[in-house]
Amino acid sequence: MARYREAKCRLCRREGMKLFLKGDRCFRDTCAVEKRNFPPGQHGRDHRPKVAGYGVQLREKQKVKRIYRVLENQFANYFAKAEKKKGITGETLLLSLECRVDNVVCRLGFAPSRDQARQLVTHGHILVNGKKLNIASAEVKAGDVISLREKTKKNQQVLDSVGSVGGRGGIPAWLELDADGLKGTVVALPKREDIQMPIDEQLIVELYSK
């Protein structure tokens, strides 16, 4: 499977904001955006081109792609499906991405970043309603219970991640975590206000509408 293999902090610097791609490090002073808040590259510090129109729309799409760790074709497919559903296309797109299993695993605190959450899913460590699910893009439904394999519950990295989830913003209102039992419940589907990242989804709709 294709995936981004370069330094993740470059992505945050390119977008000019924290995308929270490296888990706990993003909340420390060692975060690259805190130390070098300018685009990567030889001329990044001195050359800041003005972006307007198409460029603004493109940057918004790239930002959302990078937050949720999906590739170009995947993102285009999400948008195409969102267009066919009832409701506001931009909101539907974001909520579909938010309901991905790897995102839910990250939001519950089982992993400090979406990349690590995806690894837990694809390696078979995650159970949904008691059954192994290794497809990171699968979408959860209200009432679904997300848990870990018994062996994974003893993994120190997972335990440390759950213990520090409060420092990463805590658990969103649409999820409920049983920290002792290491399982979470989707109490309701997310709403637009549950996504706290500064995203203007209308710019993405305008980009794909051209």
What are the DSSP calls for 181-194, one per residue? TTEEEE-S---GGG
* 95/38: higher pLDDT: 95
Are residue 59 and residue 110 in the same domain, yes or no? no
Closest C-alpha to 181, from 157, 162, 164: 162
pTM above 0.75, yes or no: yes
Q: In this predicted model, what pLDDT tens digit does every residue of 152-204 receive, in sequence order? A: 999 999 999 999 888 888 899 999 999 999 999 999 999 999 998 889 999 99
Residue of 123, 90, 109, 68 whose CA lies nearest to 192? 90
Cα(64)–Cα(94) distance, rounded to whole angstroms? Answer: 8
As a whole number of angstroms, the distance between CA 50 and CA 54 comes to 12
Domain that holds residue 36: 8-97+196-208
pLDDT of 194: 93
Residue 133 covered by a domain: yes
Helix, coil or strand: residue 110 = coil
Assigned domain for 2 exists: no
Q: List the CATH number of the domain containing 14.
A: 1.10.1050.10
Q: In the chain, how many domains are there?
A: 2
Verify that 16 and 89 share a domain, yes or no.
Answer: yes
> Does residue 39 belong to any structural domain of this protein?
yes
| Residue 52 pLDDT | 73
Whether residue 76 is found in the same domain as residue 117? no
Interatomic CA distance for residues 22 and 12, integer angstroms:
10
84 & 107 share domain:
no
Residue 81 in domain: yes
Instruction: Give per-residue pLDDT as tens, 53-111.
Output: 888 899 899 999 988 999 999 999 999 999 999 999 999 999 999 999 999 999 999 99
